[in-house]
């Protein structure tokens, strides 16, 4: 009995960890190495960063930013290495002239001996975005792993655009951009919005038994929506993408132009379901002004 239970827990964790590997964001996508997890992030209009760890140590950082001019990538990576050496290995600065470099497809890799970081950079002329990987502690094995990571790179500029992080995945028209990302150990929310204030929200919830506490999934979802200032109109058991789910119809006070002044309520709809294979609750909802075209949530979920 105990062995069967342990195996089930391992299978659930393995299924969920596979879902964590795709990372697709604004302009780029990767498949992360096994056991890598996003452990930190910073999001700004002109750029941002993701930090990664495995169970034992920091594995690296991915940063991106938009630039007006075309960068001199070899010089830029060399400057990053020099600044690192000046701060962390000052005795090695005198021997530093130019870094060791390697071209891999569109990427340029640069490093300077054991202990110093491994860097990788890519400049995309359209949409003028600079991508940089910072991998601590160069070793030949780490170089091989990073080469495998870079091989998974793919642009993300087509319509619809993909958004995948922390086990959440959406495929939405290009007009949608990230409004907020809130990631905690057992709860993650990704919120996207288009210029007309049409909003799509995806959630992932762990610790299912503790979260539900004897409630139905529908009642749990109702409470989540109530906390987000929504008024729930209907709670219905339905299927979502072929699995049992709860559909909630709701409304929320408008925040766009005259709707906000007049107090008009916007209509919304969402689903919540339990993925038993992953041991997680998921939800996906949308809400926006009247006459704003809705997306098919079953179609956009990934």
Q: What is the pLDDT of residue 93?
A: 85
What are the structural domains, with CATH classification, of the chain? 2-156 (3.40.1000), 163-300 (3.40.1000)
Q: Of 169, 131, 153, 184, which Cα lies nearest the Cα of 20? A: 169
pLDDT of residue 200: 98
Residue 9, pLDDT score: 59
Q: What is the pLDDT at residue 203?
A: 98
Residue 57 and residue 79: Cα distance in Å, rounded?
25
Can you give the pLDDT of all 302 residues of the chain as single tens digits?
334 344 455 566 578 888 999 999 999 999 999 999 999 999 987 899 999 999 889 999 999 999 999 999 999 999 999 999 999 989 888 888 788 899 999 999 999 888 899 999 999 998 899 999 999 989 999 999 999 999 999 999 999 999 999 999 999 999 999 999 999 989 999 999 999 999 999 999 999 999 999 999 999 999 999 999 999 999 999 999 999 999 999 999 887 665 656 668 999 999 999 999 999 999 999 999 988 899 999 999 99
Length of the chain equals 302
- In the chain, how long is the greatest CA-to-CA distance? 70
List beta partners, residue 246. Answer: 237, 272
| Cβ–Cβ under 8 Å, residues 241 and 224 | no
Are the C-beta atoms of residues 161 and 175 closer than 8 Å to each other?
A: no
Report if pTM > 0.85: yes
Report the distance separating Cα 271 and Cα 227, nearest Å. Answer: 16
pLDDT value at position 1?
Answer: 35
């Amino acid at each position: 009995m105990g062995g069967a239970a342990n195996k089930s827990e391992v299978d659930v964790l393995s299924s969920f960890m596979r879902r964590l590997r795709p990372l697709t964001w604004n302009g780029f996508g990767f498949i992360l190495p096994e056991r890598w997890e996003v452990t930190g992030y910073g999001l700004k209009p002109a750029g941002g960063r993701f930090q990664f760890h495995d169970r034992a140590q920091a594995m690296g950082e991915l940063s991106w930013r938009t630039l007006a001019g075309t960068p001199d990538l070899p010089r830029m990576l060399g400057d990053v290495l020099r600044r690192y050496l000046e701060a962390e290995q000052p005795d090695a600065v005198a021997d530093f002239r130019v870094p060791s470099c390697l071209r891999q497809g569109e990427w340029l890799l640069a490093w300077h001996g054991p202990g110093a970081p491994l860097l990788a950079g890519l400049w995309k002329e359209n949409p003028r975005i600079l991508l940089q990987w910072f991998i601590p502690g160069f070793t030949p094995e780490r170089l091989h792993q990073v080469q495998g990571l870079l091989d998974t790179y793919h642009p993300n500029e087509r319509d619809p655009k993909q958004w995948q992080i922390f086990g959440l995945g959406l495929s939405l028209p290009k007009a949608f951009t990230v409004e907020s990302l809130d990631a905690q150990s057992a709860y993650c929310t990704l919120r996207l919005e288009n210029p007309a204030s049409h909003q799509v929200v995806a959630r992932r919830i762990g610790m299912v038994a503790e979260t539900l506490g004897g409630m139905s999934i529908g009642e749990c979802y109702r409470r989540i929506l109530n906390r987000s200032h929504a008024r729930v109109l209907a709670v219905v058991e339905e299927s979502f993408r072929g699995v049992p789910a709860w559909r909630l119809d709701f409304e929320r006070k408008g925040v766009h132009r005259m709707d906000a002044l007049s107090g008009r309520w916007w209509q919304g709809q969402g689903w919540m379901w339990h993925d038993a294979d992953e041991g997680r609750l998921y939800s996906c909802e949308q809400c926006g002004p009247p006459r704003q075209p809705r997306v098919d949530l079953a179609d956009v979920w990934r």
